[in-house]
Structure 1
Amino acid sequence: MKLKISLFAIAFLATFNLFAQNTYVFLGSYNRDKSAEAIQIYQLDTINGKLSKVASAKNIVNPSYLTVSPNGKYVYACTDTKTPNAGSISSFEFNPENKSLTFLNSQRSGGENPVYVTVHKSGKWIANANYTEGSVSVFPILENGKIDSIAQNFQYMDGSTRKERQTRSHVHSAVFSPQFDYLFLPDLGADKIRCYAFDENQKKPLIETKNPFTKTDLEAGPRHFTFHPNQKFGYCIEEMAGQISVYHYENGVLNKIQRIATHPDKIKEGFESSDIHISPDGKFLYATNRGKENNIAIFSIDENGHLKNIGYQSTLGKHPRVFAIDESGKFLIASNVNTGNVVVFKRNPKSGLLKKVGKEIKMESVSCVQIRKI
């Protein structure tokens, strides 16, 4: 009997290990040098928060923002960011068993300075936001993970009232709705959150709607956007105003219900709010502030979607452009561009507060972090 149990246990463990998933951390950068490891991938120890390097890629310029395909096999990057008269979207294949990241192909981004790329849940489409020229582009994804030629590109010329930053459109992100049937485009230059319906079965999936945009407050500078897990609320962080606008969401329509500062009352200027995410349990929202503060603002979320500030956590570096929360909600990882360091924080699920764990990673001009269990 003991022998049978032991053999059964060995077989079970072997099967478990075969299908076990690991959590990986994907880092992008403003490397500005093809000889540098512009993209780096680490495995996250989900017990102690330690990061162990797995793979990297060179010979690319400024992969400033990354996203990972739904199946975890492919990485898509905004490349040639902040490069005059350039801008591209690139694809890579990630093989965790071989610890390799292989370049597949690139396509022109449809505008200068691509800053955000996102992938549809079907894995068949990606959309990217181009900041400098104020545009959005959509590309089909081939079965081998390569990016096909551009399917649609919309450019915008309208600006807003703050002339030094809003003389024209600056689309800063492209975010799918919870059901992936709409695409939202926060436009820092125009003080609008643009919106298209999205039909994944069409050759040109972006479809104009009766509500093509939601106007934000003037000089808000909408930047990044996220939806609550319950799909009822949307949250937009405003870079220029240092505010978060909260919206009730239904069928592609946003109706504002709250606006709250990401900064303490004593901070009156120098706002550079950047990224925004919600914990998987929907109880807490986190938002990064750059500029004078370099911190993460922490908010609790009530049943009506409203936010209440409960504290701040230093990112232990300067210019935290992008951060991410792992799928379990246990860890938050921040990337600091100007100090080139990546810091892992452990979340307290009850209080929402953060505590640094593990050893930070150094990566010059690190600009983006994404986390995926594969």
Structure 2
Amino acid sequence: MKKFLLIISMLFPVLIYAQHKKTGPYTFDLLIGTYTKGKSKGIYVYRFYAESGRLAYLNEIDGVDNPSYLTVSNNNKFVYAVNEIGKNGEVSAFKFDAKQGKLEFINKQQSKGADPCYIAVDKAQKNAFVANYSSGSLTVLPINADGSLSPVSQVLQDEGHGVNAERQEGPHVHTGVLSPDEKYLLYTDLGTDKVNIERYKASKPQPLSPASPAFVSVKAGNGPRHLVFGNDKKHVYLVTEMGSNVTVFDYDGGKLKEKQSITLLKPHFAGKTAGAAIKISPDGKFLYASNRLETNELTVYAINEESGELTQVQQVSTFGKNPRDFAIDPTGSFLVVANQDSDTIYVYKIDKATGKIGKIGTTLEVGNPVCLKFTPAE
């Protein structure tokens, strides 16, 4: 009996530690993509402490030209960045040490398009999908077992124009997002006011093929930008850059049906505006979107559990210029916003019950921050 009690007493601290590790505190790495024309030199990594919202500098990697959008592989071992450098765009691959927050360059490939602005990777890490804004194309780059990128295997070149002769003189592909089951890829074209729909089969040399129907159109001149799937997998939410609104679609097996459009703007607002990023809270109850130029706001919407429709909850200032991107930490407790033109990153507290954004906590100065990605720290 004494021996049994001795064993239990020895194990008790271990059990307490294991329980503590299971329930918190939680730590994550926050990767920051930037434009390198100003103070920034590349990609920055900070440790994020979800119990307090505190950020601590870990590492950075220099010599990466305009890594304006990032994505992290499903196994957390690789990071991929577009290099938005003009006519001959590129894509870079990095090894990622999540414990130290350290990035190590692997290789680089041409994006076969101009000004790549978005990148996504499938869960199996077979292919990367790149949106080339200025040339209006979406390209596919195979991923090798060591995380390196192979040359482009497929180019989808959009054609056409929109009603705005200045902004929509030709196609401008802005994003490419896989459906939750990864059977489809949806990509937006700001220049033609379309959301294109492609079937995806990773095993094929050219893995994308048009779905039926192959696209849906939004209101002329709205300029679709980014989209996100609802947690219920039955709805898609699209933020438009030129229209500054959020469009809600019913989604079923690669098919989209518009059901609601709700503005990001205050009543009677007549200034310059541009919708930017769109995210959903981890619990799926709230949607957040950012708006730029003369608005510089975050708008919060409640998501109806049955219909997927939105009701506005709150609008708050980002206290900076051009909130190009923001991220919600995986616990749903904090929202981090990147103000591109004021070189600032702010951490806001979220009220999980109401979805509302509270006061600013942590603040950082980072040159031209334009992409934020959370990933688990190890």
* Displacement after TM superposition at 1:210 (Å): 1.8
- Deviation string 1:215-243 (CA, Å, 9 cap, x unpaired) is 11000100000110000110111110111
Q: Secondary structure at the match of 1:282?
A: coil
Whole-angstrom distance in 2 between the partners of 1:169 and 1:98: 41
Whole-angstrom distance in 2 between the partners of 1:269 and 1:245: 21
Q: Name stretches of at least 5 consecutive residues in structure 2 with no aligned partner.
A: none
Give the letter aligned to residue 346 of structure 1. K
Matching residue within 344, 349, 364 for 1:341: 344
Matching residue within 26, 29, 36 for 2:34: 29
Contact 1:51–1:358 at 8 Å: present in 2 too?
no
Give the letter aligned to residue 35 of structure 2. Y
Whole-angstrom distance in 1 between the partners of 2:288 and 2:175: 17
Which residue is equivalent to 2:165? Answer: 163
Which residue is equivalent to 1:41? Answer: 45
Q: Secondary structure at the match of 1:197?
A: strand
Which residue is equivalent to 1:146? Answer: 148
Which residue is equivalent to 2:226? Answer: 224
* Displacement after TM superposition at 1:294 (Å): 0.6
- Deviation string 1:305-358 (CA, Å, 9 cap, x unpaired) is 111111112112110001111222122111110011111112111111012343
Which residue is equivalent to 1:198? Answer: 200
Q: Secondary structure at the match of 1:4?
A: helix
* Displacement after TM superposition at 1:3 (Å): 4.1
Q: 1:178 to 1:171 in 2, by over 3 A?
A: same
Whole-angstrom distance in 1 between the partners of 2:114 and 2:15: 52
Matching residue within 317, 320, 332 for 2:335: 332
Contact 2:188–2:226 at 8 Å: present in 1 too?
yes
Aligned residue-pair number: 371
Residue 61 in structure 1 maps to residue 65 in structure 2: yes
Q: 1:47 to 1:98 in 2, by over 3 A?
A: closer
Which residue is equivalent to 2:79? Answer: 75
Q: Secondary structure at the match of 1:234?
A: strand
Which residue is equivalent to 2:313? Answer: 310
- Deviation string 1:25-54 (CA, Å, 9 cap, x unpaired) is 110100137x95310011111111000111
Q: Secondary structure at the match of 1:208?
A: strand
Residue 175 in structure 1 maps to residue 180 in structure 2: no
Whole-angstrom distance in 1 between the partners of 2:336 and 2:133: 25
* Displacement after TM superposition at 1:98 (Å): 4.1
Matching residue within 256, 266, 283 for 1:264: 266
Whole-angstrom distance in 2 between the partners of 1:242 and 1:357: 24
Contact 1:343–1:356 at 8 Å: present in 2 too?
no
Which residue is equivalent to 1:207? Answer: 209
Residue 365 in structure 1 maps to residue 368 in structure 2: yes
Whole-angstrom distance in 1 between the partners of 2:241 and 2:235: 20
Which residue is equivalent to 1:86? Answer: 88
Which residue is equivalent to 1:255? Answer: 257
Give the letter aligned to residue 132 of structure 2. N
Whole-angstrom distance in 1 between the partners of 2:350 and 2:86: 40
Contact 1:117–1:128 at 8 Å: present in 2 too?
yes
Which residue is equivalent to 1:235? Answer: 237
TM-score, structure 1 normalization = 0.94
- Deviation string 1:86-108 (CA, Å, 9 cap, x unpaired) is 21111111113344210111110
Whole-angstrom distance in 2 between the partners of 1:22 and 1:125: 29
Whole-angstrom distance in 2 between the partners of 1:17 and 1:200: 40
Whole-angstrom distance in 1 between the partners of 2:349 and 2:29: 16
Structure 1 runs (4+) deviating above 6 angstroms are 13-21
Q: Secondary structure at the match of 2:161?
A: coil
Whole-angstrom distance in 2 between the partners of 1:77 and 1:356: 31
Q: 1:14 to 1:305 in 2, by over 3 A?
A: closer
Contact 2:29–2:101 at 8 Å: present in 1 too?
no
Q: Secondary structure at the match of 2:180?
A: coil
Give the letter aligned to residue 345 of structure 1. Y
Matching residue within 290, 293, 309 for 1:291: 293
Q: Secondary structure at the match of 1:9?
A: helix
Contact 2:218–2:224 at 8 Å: present in 1 too?
yes
Q: Secondary structure at the match of 1:5?
A: helix
* Displacement after TM superposition at 1:85 (Å): 2.5
Give the letter aligned to residue 316 of structure 1. F
* Displacement after TM superposition at 1:18 (Å): 9.2
Whole-angstrom distance in 2 between the partners of 1:14 and 1:48: 20
Whole-angstrom distance in 2 between the partners of 1:99 and 1:308: 38
Percent identity over the alignment is 32
